[in-house]
Amino acid sequence: MGRYLLHRLALAIPTLLVVSIVVFVLQKLLPGDAATLMTADADLSADDLTRIRAALGLDKSWPVQYLVWMWGVVQGDFGTSLNTKLPVLEVILDKLPVTFQLASMAIVISVGIGVPLGVIAALKRGSAVDYGVNAAGLSGLSIPPFWFGIMLILAFSVELNWFPASGYVSPAEDFWASLHTMILPAIVLASENIAILMRHTRSAMLGVLKQDYVRTARAKGLFERVVVVRHALRNALIPVITLGAIEFGRLLGGAVLTEQVFTIPGFGKLLVDGVFTRDYPIVQGVVLVAACCYIALNFLADAAYASVNPRIRAR
């Protein structure tokens, strides 16, 4: 298993390298460079700009600039925000827990709803229940999350006044108020994931139910409930849980729209605000951190999968 994980880890390095190159190239394709962006308000002569460029290292070639930038990133220096002049990493780490809480709540909701629905659909295969669950799943994939959020606000905040329409309360401050404000956004963020987990659970269950050991369990005369839960579900859940971990990484990035609709001061809103205030170091930092989270969670999922799968564990 050690060798398998080392191999996985080695694959993550070129992946991160590609991400960093994509981020760097995006920055270089921008109209104007850091010097013109930083001094947009000041009235400077061409000479001053040249000096600022030299001071920032912008007069060097692209590969050299990339290496200098990467060297900083590796040491945790993601640059400074053009607007607040704060270090980018500090700003991101400040916002990340908010999105982390949102994504955690969303993953609990999506596993809690998606997995049971997928199991039921698989057990009642071909029935009206199966078709209903499938149609609901496809709808979940088809609803734009921002619109779903607007509709939930309309129903549960404006009409019924059950939940607040926007804002954020830190769980450290007031735990229940925090859950209460986050529940609608978490449902919105979970909507697509419920469908994804449901579809995967269904097909994993269908695959497992065909296996010999399930037939053996039935032949032994075990109760159907025991067969389904202890023999089938436990095996079917392995790939689903792996997927859940990967999805969690995706949720951190996917929170952009949800946070925008519910005005939650998280990681995703930081990206959108960064785009509109032309604060490109922030945009780069968010993209880089989102990709790192995804890669890290992918690796953890691989490790979890390997530790429960004896065929890989033996390697």
Residue of 6, 9, 30, 40 that binds another protein (CB under 8 A)? 30
Please, what's the b/e burial string for 36-73 (b: 16 or more CB within 10 A of its CB; e: otherwise)?
A: eeeeeeeeeeeeebeebbeeeeeeeeeeebbeebeeeb
Stretch binding another protein (CB under 8 A), from 55-63, 67-75, 90-98, 140-148: 140-148
Contact map string, positions 42 to 61, toward another protein, x by CB under 8 A: --------------------
Contact map string, positions 61 to 100, toward another protein, x by CB under 8 A: ----------------------------------------
The span from the CA of 119 to the CA of 109, in Å, is 16
Q: Across-strand partners of 80?
A: 87
40 binding another protein? (CB under 8 A) = no
Q: Least distance in Å: CB of 310 to another protein? A: 26
Provide the 3-class DSSP secondary structure of residue 126. coil
The span from the CA of 287 to the CA of 290, in Å, is 5
The candidate with the shortest Cα–Cα distance to 179, out of 169, 165, 187, is 169
The span from the CA of 173 to the CA of 169, in Å, is 7
Cα pseudo-dihedral 209, 215, 217, 223, rounded to 10: 70
Stretch binding another protein (CB under 8 A), from 70-78, 85-93, 225-233, 285-293: 285-293
15 binding another protein? (CB under 8 A) = yes
253 binding another protein? (CB under 8 A) = yes
229 binding another protein? (CB under 8 A) = no
Q: How many residues bind another protein (CB under 8 A)?
A: 54
The span from the CA of 281 to the CA of 229, in Å, is 49
Q: Which residues bind another protein (CB under 8 A)?
A: 11, 14-19, 21-23, 26-27, 29-31, 138-139, 141-147, 150-151, 153-154, 158, 203, 206-207, 210, 250, 252-254, 256-257, 260-261, 271-272, 275-276, 283-284, 286-287, 290-291, 294-295, 298
